[in-house]
Amino acid sequence: MELINKMYHFKYNDQTKRIEGFSEQDIIHIREKINRGEVIILKNCFDREASIEIRKKTFAYFQNNEPLNLPITNDTPNFYRRDNNPEKSAVKRVKQAYNAFYWNKGLGDDVHYLRAMSILRNKIAELPTEYATQQIEPDHFITLSSVAQYPLGGGYLSKHVDPLNKQFCVIISCLSEKGPDFPKGGLYIEVNNERIYLDDEIEIGDVYLMNPSTIHGVEPIDEGDQPEWSNEKGRWILFPSLVELKTLYGEKVKGLKDLNEK
């Protein structure tokens, strides 16, 4: 079994605001690989320079606004949240994230890219095309779409597994690269007690997909005890996460587990 699979023909179309270039057979193959615990990397799916611009605009927003933690409704404005091992968090983390809700205008291409990933995720998961792209659904699922930074000085995400629920697969795009943007640490998965570092394979503009129940985490970005919130360097991602609304208020759901929590 080849654990990491790279595909080169999935491309974002700036006119339609969709990811295109694939066949139904491609989607079937992705489903099969996700079920087997393999990782898919869609190479150069998004424009590199546009991805860097999203990162720059988001960082500027971080520097010019105060972090908030607003209740989520169908008219919540975009805001950014800073997490430094929050007490109620189901999975411990150090990161800051701009939440770009689909019912609002974003900072630029961020909302378009995030929504395009949500639509592709829905197709792979055999959900309705627009599921959780316009509102909180009646079954209380929401796409929490964010532009997130794991900062230098210790940004990380604890080793964990996510619930399969309706999302079927996790889909994320990278806005940074290991080396130029952060010297060590980064995304890994664990297979047979061995860590495999995915950031060694991922470049700016790539989209990766994986099984939520695969053990994964983000090793500390340039280890330290003081996150560098005012430094643009670090690990950056676009992440449209399909979650149950109650998890955003600290309620744990079956299948979500922080594996470092005793």
Average pLDDT, the chain: 94
Sorting pLDDT into bands at 50, 70 and 90, what band is 261?
low
Residue 165 has a pLDDT of 82
Q: Per the domain annotation, does 230 fall within a domain?
A: yes
DSSP the chain: --SEEEE---EEETTTTEEES--HHHHHHHHHHHHTT-EEEETT-S-HHHHHHHHHHHHHHHHHS----PPP-TTPPPEEEEEES-TT-SS-EEEEEEE--TTS--SSSHHHHHHHHHHHHHHHTT--TTTTSSS--TTSEEEEEEEEEEETTTEEEEEEE---TTT-SEEEEES--BTTTBSS-EEEEEETTEEEEGGGT--TT-EEEE-TTSEEEEEEET--SS--TT-S-EEEEEEEEEEEGGGGGT---TT-EETT--
On whether residue 224 sits in a domain, the answer given is yes
Asked whether residue 254 is domain-assigned, the answer is no
* 9 occurs within a structural domain: yes
pTM of the predicted structure, to 2 decimals: 0.95
Domain count, the chain: 1
- Quick: pLDDT tens for 169-219: 999 999 999 999 999 999 999 998 899 999 999 999 999 999 999 999 999
- What mean pLDDT is predicted for residues 5-29? 97
Domain range spanning residue 71? Answer: 4-241
Give the CATH number, domain containing residue 172.
2.60.120.620
pLDDT, mean of residues 29-37: 96
- For 79-126, the pLDDT digits (tens) are 999 999 987 777 899 999 999 999 999 999 999 999 999 999 999 999
- Residues 129-150: tens digit of each pLDDT: 999 999 999 999 999 999 999 9
Q: Does residue 253 sit within a domain?
A: no
Residue 30 lies in a domain: yes
pLDDT at 262 over 60: no
